[in-house]
């Protein structure tokens, strides 16, 4: 249920640890099914060899590192990359697990799989993406693929159909107008606070929060050939900033799908970013809400109280007030350093009812992208017999020993 803001009265204020990802991350062990053991039949060796080599190079791994990470001996890795020998079924599954992709990618003869787009993304941002961030992005896309599959199998209601109609030669105005169209489509009144992460999912956008090493990246949008629009929000910042980033990336999903992918930086200034910022600002703080605010002298206390109600940082509120002529540029600059205490910022996916231990574990999972929405969908798929326990563990990025603990955490039984 969306929160409502009392625009007529601003209340006074009542007053995250980084999970590192190594260059060769630890993965849950693959237990091949009996029918997968032995030689992979009908394989086009040159294509397979090229895919293994491209994947390895995409993540900056050496053949020695790939061997150490997968347990496949180095001579076999070299032979596989040179198309000298056919892989066994076990090796195909192990490589697919290591590179976080469907094993069918390796055994098909398709030359333009979904990973092609990831490869282009990594090439375009070669200097900005560390090895650990590349692995994080690949795991994020793995989660998007899983979520698309699970939601389809669970036969969930189709996403809300939304096609922007607002057109304006000034992209900044267009962003604001489309934001209002979307609020209307989602049924929000002027004073209701959007549930941003839920709203993106209602639109059919796969949204995951994931900690990236590069703090300058706020988020990214990628139009996955199979899963559809996917949004990653950098978990490195506070939840209010993450809400803004999610709305910002939603704008890219609505306006920029022809670009295939967009990486957003905190200080990005091209026209697409300007439009996305305008969209996010108007979606979170619509002009009608500002119009209903009383004409008062703004103070730190008033600004902090209203920002807290809206679930935004003070700087975002100041931009909206200046946008609608309710504060001068000079006053905006004067209050720019006002911040909200971190303990007042409620995370919608970390309910207050959690125990300290449960909260810490949920935070660790969110840093890796495992949202409450995604976890419950995966557990439901397991309960209904759609996926196996082994597949569930793989989808949740854990091993079988951790699976029962996660089941208890998310209230799933009978695993």
Phi, psi for residue 137 in degrees, rounded to 5? -70, -40
pLDDT of 401 reads 85
**pTM for the whole thing?**
0.85
pLDDT in tens, 356-392: 998 999 999 999 999 999 999 999 999 999 999 999 9
pLDDT at 42: 64
C-beta neighbour count of 325 within 10 angstroms: 10
Please tell me the predicted confidence (pLDDT) of residue 7.
42
Greater confidence (400 vs 187) lies with 187
Sequence ranges of the domains in the chain: 34-109, 154-284, 350-409
Q: Which pLDDT score is estimated for 311?
A: 96
Give per-residue pLDDT as tens, 137-152: 999 999 999 999 999 9
Q: Which two tokens stand for residue 102?
A: 């469907």
What is the spatial distance between Cα 312 and Cα 400, in angstroms, rounded to a whole number?
A: 39
Which top CATH class is 34-109? mainly alpha
Residue 156, sorted as left (phi over 0), alpha (psi -120 to 50) or beta, turns out to be beta
Residues above pLDDT 90, as percent of the chain = 67
* 242-288 residue pLDDT tens: 999 999 999 999 999 888 899 999 776 688 999 999 999 999 999 99
CA-nearest of 258, 88, 257, 282 to 166 is 282
pLDDT band at 191 (very low <50, low <70, confident <90, very high): very high
As a whole number of angstroms, the distance between CA 110 and CA 281 comes to 42
The verdict on domain 154-284 having CATH code 1.10.10.2910 is yes
Q: Do domains 34-109 and 154-284 have the same CATH topology?
A: no
Q: Which two tokens stand for residue 349?
A: 């996916």
SS (H, E, C) 168-185: CCCHHHHHHHHHHHHHHH
């Amino acid at each position: 249920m969306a929160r409502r803001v009392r625009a007529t009265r601003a209340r006074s204020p009542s007053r995250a640890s980084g999970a590192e990802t190594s260059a060769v991350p630890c993965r849950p062990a693959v237990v091949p099914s009996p029918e997968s053991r032995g030689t992979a039949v009908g394989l086009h060796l040159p294509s397979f060899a090229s895919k293994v080599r491209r994947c390895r190079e995409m993540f900056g791994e050496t053949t020695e590192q790939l061997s150490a990470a997968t347990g496949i001996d180095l001579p076999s890795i070299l032979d596989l990359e040179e198309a000298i020998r056919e892989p066994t079924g076990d090796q195909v599954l192990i490589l697919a697990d290591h590179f976080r992709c469907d094993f069918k990618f390796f055994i098909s003869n398709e030359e333009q799989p979904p990973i092609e787009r990831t490869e282009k993304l990594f090439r375009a941002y070669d200097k900005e993406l560390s090895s650990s961030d590349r692995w994080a992005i690949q795991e994020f896309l793995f989660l998007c693929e899983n979520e698309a599959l699970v939601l389809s199998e669970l036969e969930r209601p189709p996403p809300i159909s939304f096609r922007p109609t607002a057109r304006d030669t000034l992209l900044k105005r267009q962003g604001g107008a489309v934001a209002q169209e979307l609020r209307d489509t989602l049924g929000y009144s002027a004073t209701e606070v959007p549930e941003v992460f839920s709203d993106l999912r209602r639109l059919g956008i796969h949204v995951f929060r994931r900690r990236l090493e590069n703090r300058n990246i706020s988020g990214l949008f990628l139009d996955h050939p199979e899963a559809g629009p996917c949004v990653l929000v950098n978990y490195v910042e506070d939840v209010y900033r993450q809400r803004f980033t999610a709305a910002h990336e939603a704008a890219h999903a609505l306006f920029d799908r022809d670009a295939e992918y967009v990486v957003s930086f905190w200080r990005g200034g091209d026209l697409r970013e300007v439009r996305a910022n305008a969209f996010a600002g108007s979606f979170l703080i619509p002009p009608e809400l500002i119009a209903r605010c009383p004409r008062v002298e703004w103070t730190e206390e008033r600004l902090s109280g209203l920002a807290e109600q809206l679930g935004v940082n003070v700087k975002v509120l100041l931009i909206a007030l200046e946008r609608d002529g309710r504060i001068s540029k000079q006053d905006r600059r004067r209050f720019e350093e006002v911040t909200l205490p971190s303990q007042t910022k409620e995370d919608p996916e970390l309910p207050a009812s959690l125990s300290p231990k449960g909260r810490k574990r949920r935070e660790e999972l969110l840093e890796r992208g495992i949202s409450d929405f995604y976890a419950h969908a995966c557990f439901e798929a397991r309960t209904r017999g759609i996926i196996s326990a082994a597949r569930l563990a793989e989808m949740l990025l854990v091993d079988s020993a951790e699976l029962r603990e996660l089941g208890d955490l998310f209230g799933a039984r009978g695993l």
